[in-house]
C-alpha cells in the first residue's frame, strides 16, 4: 500500500531546534502535515486526540521520557500499533535493547542525516 504523505506526524523533543530540524527534513521528504510537542504528557494527550500515522520522539525529556511515552502508547489498545521512532543521543546497547523490548519501530541516533531519516521511515512506513 502506498504511503500517504498527507498523514499526520507528531514530532516530540524538548529542544525546539531539534523539532524544527526534524520538521524541515520531513518537509523535504514530502511530509508536510507535522505537529509538534515539547514534552511527553502533551504528546500523549495529542496522540490520544488525533489520528497520527507516525510519532518521532526524543528519549531524554522531563517529566516524561520518550521511553515512558513509548510504553504508554503501546499500553493503550487504541495506539498500540502506532509507528513510533525514537530519535535520540542515547547510544548505549542497553538503550536500544530496552527500546526494542518496549516495542519501538526504529531507533535513530543523533546527529543524523536526512538520508538516514528517509531510510528509517521507509523501513517503518514503506517506500515513498
Partner 1 sequence: MAGTEGFDGAIAAIRQDLAAATEGLMAVAEAGLRDVALARAGDGEALSRIESGLLGVLEACALEDLIGQRLTRLQAVAAGARPEAGDPEEEGLLNGPAEPGQGLGQAEADIWLAGGGEP
CB of 116 to partner 1, least distance (A): 6
C-alpha of 92 from chain center: 19
Residue 67 is a binding residue for partner 1 (CB under 8 A): yes
Q: Lay out the sheet containing 34-37: strands in order across.
A: 34-37, 8-12, 52-57, 84-88, 106-109
Span of 1-9, 31-39, 46-54, 59-67 interacting with partner 1 by CB under 8 A: 59-67
What is the distance between the alpha carbons of residues 110 and 113, in angstroms, rounded to a whole number? 9
Smallest separation (angstroms) from partner 1 to the CB of 39 = 13
The residue range among 1-9, 30-38, 46-54, 112-120 that interacts with partner 1, by the rule CB under 8 A, is 112-120
Q: Shortest CA distance to 8 belongs to which of 52, 43, 42? A: 52
Site string for partner 1, 1-20 (x = CB under 8 A): ------------x-x-xx-x
Amino acid at each position: 500500500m502506498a504511503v500517504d504523505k498527507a498523514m499526520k506526524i507528531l514530532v516530540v523533543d524538548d529542544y525546539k531546534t531539534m523539532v524544527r530540524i526534524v520538521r524541515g527534513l520531513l518537509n523535504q521528504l514530502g511530509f508536510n502535515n507535522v505537529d509538534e510537542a515539547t514534552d511527553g504528557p502533551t504528546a500523549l494527550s495529542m496522540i490520544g486526540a488525533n489520528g497520527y500515522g507516525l510519532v518521532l520522539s526524543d528519549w531524554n525529556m522531563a517529566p516524561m521520557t520518550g521511553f515512558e511515552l513509548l510504553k504508554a502508547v503501546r499500553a493503550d489498545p487504541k495506539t498500540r500499533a502506532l509507528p513510533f521512532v525514537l530519535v535520540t543521543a542515547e547510544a548505549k546497547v542497553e538503550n536500544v535493547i530496552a527500546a526494542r523490548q518496549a516495542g519501538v519501530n526504529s531507533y535513530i541516533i543523533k546527529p543524523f542525516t536526512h538520508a538516514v531519516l528517509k531510510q528509517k521511515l521507509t523501513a517503518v512506513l514503506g517506500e515513498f
